[in-house]
Chain A
Amino acid sequence: MTLDETSPMPLALLAEQVLNGLQFGVMLFLMAAGLTLIFGVMGLINLAHGSLYMIGAFAAASVAGATGSFLLALVAAMTAAAVAGALVELVVIRRLYARDHLDQVLATFALILIFSEGTRWVFGSFPLYLDIPDMLSGPVTLPGGIEYPRYRLALIGIGLTVALGLGLLITRTRLGIRIRAGENDREMIAALGVDISRLYTIVFALGAALAGLAGALVGAIQSVQVGMGEPVLILAFVVIVIGGIGSIKGALVGAILVGLTDTLGGIFLPSLFRLFLDPSSAANAGASLASMAIYILMAAVLIWRPTGLFGARG
């Protein structure tokens, strides 16, 4: 399917798709922000970040099922993910800061196995139910006659608010100053008497809470099941690499870039191919190229700027 020539308002459709790309992007940002913070401050590659996303979704589904309140579910998601994150940091991650990336990759890969199968052990093999709250269900009509799901608009709002809040936290608060100091010179802030290990735990829990929030928010329109975190994790890595590792601004720009590329690529590539192929093969070839689009984008960015768009360190 492509943009139909007879379609009454291709511009409105385009606008709707841009909103979709934006919504996908801001959710990726919630994941990517934690990853990039953790890497920036502690120098750690955390493959288990996707598991925290999953924990958030499962906690939200359980609490929503028990209480019926979506707001409580969100709180539970962030709390559960933050607690899991802090625990993991204290027990395992802490021992990995001084290690090279290889050990970190292996250890956090091991954590994925433990979290995924452990969750399946507790919750079983079938997907869990989590739905959007009544207050946010159904579409709204935007200017220009675009009908757009209210919940997705809310996601864009929440995502941008978190981005703004995170920006303020980093630039305006004491914690933010310490985080930035930690990124620049670890020995220095330890020498200044900042309790570095507590700072690390806090940063890790913060990143985890954001991942848990994303898991719960996205789980409501997708499915809550074991293994949901890994595809998002890979995308989040693509995002932070494009943006430049350690940079919150880069994560935001990268996330929106990836969201738009993925969404718009899926629509425009098939119509591009339809100019010189029959509809079925065009749908096929377009879909194939679209599924590779973000990786092509990432490779292109890295070849052009080897440390990402806003990256400083190698």
Chain B
Amino acid sequence: MRWGLVNAVMLIGLVAFPFWALAADEPFMITLATRAVILALAAVGLNIALGWGGLVSLGHAAFFGIGGYAMGILASHAQGYTPLMEWPFLIEGTKSMPVIWLVAVLASALAALGIGMLSLRTTGVYFIMITLAFGQMLYYFAISWTAYGGEDGVSIYVRNGFPGLNTLVPVEFYGLCLGVLLGVLALNAAVIHSPFGLALNAARQSPDRVRTVGLDPRRLQLAAFVLSGAITGLAGALFADLNRFVSPSMLSWQMSGEIMIFVILGGTARLFGPVVGAVVFVALEHSLGGLSEYWHVFLGALLLLIVLFARGGLIGLVAGRGGGS
């Protein structure tokens, strides 16, 4: 199958890229690639809800931002040596990535559970809009949350640590992020081929048939939404660490739109679709941004052409329409 080939090429490219960048003495390219990998991870999260679950969420920036703030809050307390909470029990901040990731995943999963339970009462366009509304609520909340900088956000001076790695070296941080992305992709592949994944797929295509075999499609979708939110939250924590900074812009609806663009650009419900989408988008942003102050015009035109003439996203264009997972 040709889409298998596309995935393999993508995989080899991601692994080989830093070697090329080091050889060409372009260390910034590694930072740029790290950005692409992290955004891809966020989109992989959304793809589970959107691609396989059929849940078009325009509010995934909420989870992305919650992950980011998990990093910002924990690390800023560790940096300032002030406890996060003293009562009823003492909680200290931390600069350890694994702990931050765990908190980010739990917090965004919890938020996804709450938002999902309420939002899944609606369908179609209403679902798009109610997820947008929840995103906007969190966005405005973050802007006025002075304890953590409001619109100025929270910045930390040194990237958080991971046992055995020096995360300040771009290539090591890249490796770490790529490792996480590949791990999540493997999980993603396992999930869609599991009984849960098959039931979820069926729930999207015909809810009634799922109901007749005694499953509740809403619960399947809620589970997918929570998993999806948790992954995007993890990406948010990494993104904040990449920038050593978190601010409400991570929660903005434009961010939700961008994550969605990665998914659609690459191809929905395809394992590597979000990865292709994020990589292409970051590359475009980088190369067009250097050409003209008005590069958004060209970006817009290009996106438009892709939607109009390359259905099934870029992977669909390269690999032909059928055959997606």
**Residues of chain B from 289 to 305 with CB closer than 8 A to chain A in the complex:** 294-297, 299-304
**Across the interface, do B143 and A291 meet the contact criterion of CB distance under 8 Å?**
yes
**Across the interface, do A295 and B136 meet the contact criterion of CB distance under 8 Å?**
yes
Q: Does A113 contact B (CB under 8 A)?
A: yes
Contacts A110-B304, A234-B136, A295-B133 given; indicate if A284 touches B146 (C-beta within 8 A).
Answer: yes
| B261 CB contacts on chain A under 8 angstroms | 106, 109
Contacts A102-B264, A106-B261, A237-B132 given; indicate if A111 touches B304 (C-beta within 8 A).
Answer: yes
**Across the interface, do A102 and B268 meet the contact criterion of CB distance under 8 Å?**
yes
Q: Does A299 contact B (CB under 8 A)?
A: yes
**Across the interface, do B301 and A114 meet the contact criterion of CB distance under 8 Å?**
yes
Q: Does A288 contact B (CB under 8 A)?
A: yes
Which of B119, B126, B143, B146 has most A Cβ within 10 Å? B126
Distance to closest chain B CB from A106 (angstroms)? 5
**Across the interface, do A103 and B307 meet the contact criterion of CB distance under 8 Å?**
yes
Q: Does A126 contact B (CB under 8 A)?
A: no
Contacts A118-B297, A292-B140 given; indicate if A107 touches B130 (C-beta within 8 A).
Answer: no
**Across the interface, do A110 and B303 meet the contact criterion of CB distance under 8 Å?**
yes
Q: Does A64 contact B (CB under 8 A)?
A: no
24 contacts between A and B (CB under 8 A): A92-B304, A101-B128, A102-B50, A103-B307, A105-B260, A105-B264, A107-B308, A110-B299, A111-B304, A113-B296, A113-B299, A114-B296, A117-B294, A118-B294, A118-B297, A121-B294, A237-B129, A237-B132, A292-B140, A295-B136, A298-B129, A299-B130, A302-B129, A303-B118
B→A interface (CB under 8 Å):
50, 56, 58, 118-119, 121-126, 128-130, 132-134, 136-137, 140-141, 143-146, 253, 257, 260-261, 264-265, 268, 294-297, 299-304, 307-308, 311
Other A-B pairs beyond A101-B124, A106-B265, A302-B122, 7, CB < 8 Å: A45-B128, A102-B268, A105-B264, A111-B304, A291-B144, A295-B137, A303-B121
A→B interface (CB under 8 Å):
39, 45, 92, 95-96, 101-103, 105-107, 109-114, 116-118, 120-121, 234, 237-238, 241, 245, 284, 287-288, 291-292, 295-296, 298-299, 302-303, 306-308, 311, 314
